[in-house]
Structure 1
């Protein structure tokens, strides 16, 4: 193996750093831009809440269609090429969002963004886990989780200033340029496998619990989807995506349209959610390494549902509303990294990317359906609160499903 002792920092941390930057920009676009700019887009494009949900659906439709492909490509040609190349779609699609003139073009351009975004979370979450040992993956993903929180959180502060001085279109344009810069960052810094550099994953020890081994010559889609654990994780992932995106996508618009809170103040809701999610992501992901993903997710989903009910009953009391949003953010922080860790814990490392890609189908369906259902209920009933209530119910269903998941060791003993 090649000697890398001259390099003082384990390359896993370089990969983690590049991944942090990539997710920062991706989630600035994915959650921050859409959530914060949506009230202005609704006014300018003359659309209703159902149509706003359709724009979001355009993003997640391409996202779920391309995510399995990205996972498959990740396992075969490596994350470095996949992430670098598809950041072109992320940047171009975001740039074009600033040129959208009607509902149709907005849906189409947001769909291009979804193609690029599909190549970010799935390959990166699998790649980072390759570079960190089994008992350090929660730590690594916990460190990674503030990236997307900082991304969409800062947008709640930065984008209102851009809108005030320019327009909502300029916000999309600048983020599109940032997305294109990611092409160079990832090509220069990402590496596909520690073994190719003569390294072990950081934190790897002889006593570490290995990933489930491959049985036979290959492990394909059929082998993954025939496992009941896949369907438990996937079903839970779908419901929690409904819950998270109904609230995160609509919280700023709820403040502006229903509560009549000034736009700059309502935009800070997304920042509060993001900043508290940083603390929650690191703290709860680290705990999950010791008490298990399933127990952690059951607890998280219950607390998330309670936080949504708190937001509903806070109504126009800004202090209570901010407390509820902060509570939601703290619990929200570790959710998606923890599902990625489940894929690595319960399936062979050689197909981690494929597994995460398949699970992302469930995530994408939930994230696509949630805002449409939520938007339609708002148009129908004239209030956001019933939509948020649907989100709370979805979180409870997610916790119920994941509660049936056993620890990896228990599953291995049963299979043996």
Structure 2
């Protein structure tokens, strides 16, 4: 294992991975800043409690669109330019959001933040694919996708303290400036690694690829459960089980921390095993659905804390496996576009699940029913993923696959 991590060929790639990880961490922090600042920002901008969701919706509409556009640009312009540019512009709009005078302006700027921020995911996948081979990619994607969990943790740790010392606008100014500075560092230090020259494949091959569509649907199901839990678990524990708000927040922190720690571990394990990533990902999604169902039957703070780590592992460990599968299905030439497209489809889960779970809980008043609704997502995702035809090795791809058509002889 030591040779795996310290070999000279691999060691030079970690700088690229570190910058990709840092970039995704910052855009995740930017995205997560709204949650802990929403009540204060809404009060300052004259927004009702019900209207706060419009800001998050505006962000995710832009985010989904930029995943698609960022992937296409990354395949054509290179990951370095797209990642650096998207992070710099997202940081600029974060700073601008800290100055917005009204709700309408704030919603518009949130959409612009999302429209810029989503491009760095696909660009990062493009860069990592070019620098890490198939047998090294699980660990790399595990480290890369840790960023989404860490972003949630950082924002929830920093923003409340900034609000206490200054106001809600200070967090947007701080995170925006840090994002812009990191973007300039990425532009200076990142390097695209060009492979052999190939004819750019037609986009219709990507759109028609059955396995990538199923992979995106699997991601949708996983994200449904993950972000549904992040969005609703705190409020559900407080209102449905009478748990103290601080204790409920601690449960969510444990949930996210377990996922962050587990991502690189499962990525490395699947790399070393060399037996594919589909079956472990299916197992994780099924286990996640089971954890959500069990969570819905708990009642005490101690029980919630004990289950939080298991639920967090299920909620996040499928992510690096699905992302690592993308280049093997699409081929390196379309890795950015495929990553952007599948992630855009997956992120639709984060847009729709808050509304659905809220409607179920309002209609039934049932804590268990709300978590059963969340469990449907990862279970359906596991079913979709089971039909994906995963190539056994880069050299033995099935004849009709998109990766086979785009492979260099």
The answer to whether the superposition gives a TM-score over 0.5 is yes
Q: State the Cα distance separating 1:261 from its structure 2 match.
A: 4.9
**How far apart, CA to CA, are the structure 2 residues paired with 1:143 and 1:96?**
31
SS of 2:132's equivalent in the other structure is coil
**How far apart, CA to CA, are the structure 1 residues paired with 2:69 and 2:334?**
12
- Asked whether 1:245 is paired with 2:227, we answer yes
Q: Which residue of 2 aligns with 1:355?
A: 338
The answer to whether the 8 Å contact 1:241/1:367 transfers is yes
Query: Cα 1:310–1:181, aligned 2, differ >3 Å: closer, same or farther?
Result: farther
- 1:5-404 superposed matches below 5 A: 10-31=11-32, 33-38=33-38, 46-48=47-49, 51-99=51-99, 103-193=103-193, 217-255=199-237, 261=243, 263-289=245-271, 290-315=274-299, 317-378=300-361, 386-404=369-387
Gaps of 5+ in 1: 1-6, 197-212
Q: State the Cα distance separating 1:385 from its structure 2 match.
A: 5.3
SS of 2:389's equivalent in the other structure is coil
**How far apart, CA to CA, are the structure 1 residues paired with 2:256 and 2:76?**
34
The answer to whether the 8 Å contact 1:235/1:362 transfers is yes
The answer to whether the 8 Å contact 2:90/2:179 transfers is yes
**How far apart, CA to CA, are the structure 2 residues paired with 1:385 and 1:220?**
47
**How far apart, CA to CA, are the structure 2 residues paired with 1:72 and 1:92?**
23
Task: Give every structure 1 segment of 4 or more consecutive aligned residues whose post-TM-superposition deviation is greater than 6 Å.
Answer: none
Provide Cα deviations, 1:265-317, integer angstroms capped at 9, x if missing partner: 443344222221122212222233333221112111111112222332224x2
Provide Cα deviations, 1:152-198, integer angstroms capped at 9, x if missing partner: 223333333223333434333322222222221211221111669xx
**How far apart, CA to CA, are the structure 2 residues paired with 1:247 and 1:97?**
27
Q: State the Cα distance separating 1:98 from its structure 2 match.
A: 3.8
**How far apart, CA to CA, are the structure 1 residues paired with 2:223 and 2:13?**
29
Query: Cα 1:324–1:101, aligned 2, differ >3 Å: closer, same or farther?
Result: farther
Q: State the Cα distance separating 1:137 from its structure 2 match.
A: 0.4
Provide Cα deviations, 1:122-152, integer angstroms capped at 9, x if missing partner: 1102211211111000011122233332232
SS of 1:314's equivalent in the other structure is coil
Q: State the Cα distance separating 1:228 from its structure 2 match.
A: 1.6
Count of matched residue positions in the alignment of Structure 1 and Structure 2: 389
Gaps of 5+ in 2: 1-7, 405-409
> TM-score scaled by structure 2?
0.84
> Aligned-pair RMSD on alpha carbons?
3.0
The answer to whether the 8 Å contact 1:154/1:271 transfers is no
> TM-score scaled by structure 1?
0.83
**How far apart, CA to CA, are the structure 2 residues paired with 1:385 and 1:103?**
35
SS of 2:118's equivalent in the other structure is helix
**How far apart, CA to CA, are the structure 2 residues paired with 1:102 and 1:252?**
28
Query: Cα 1:358–1:265, aligned 2, differ >3 Å: closer, same or farther?
Result: same
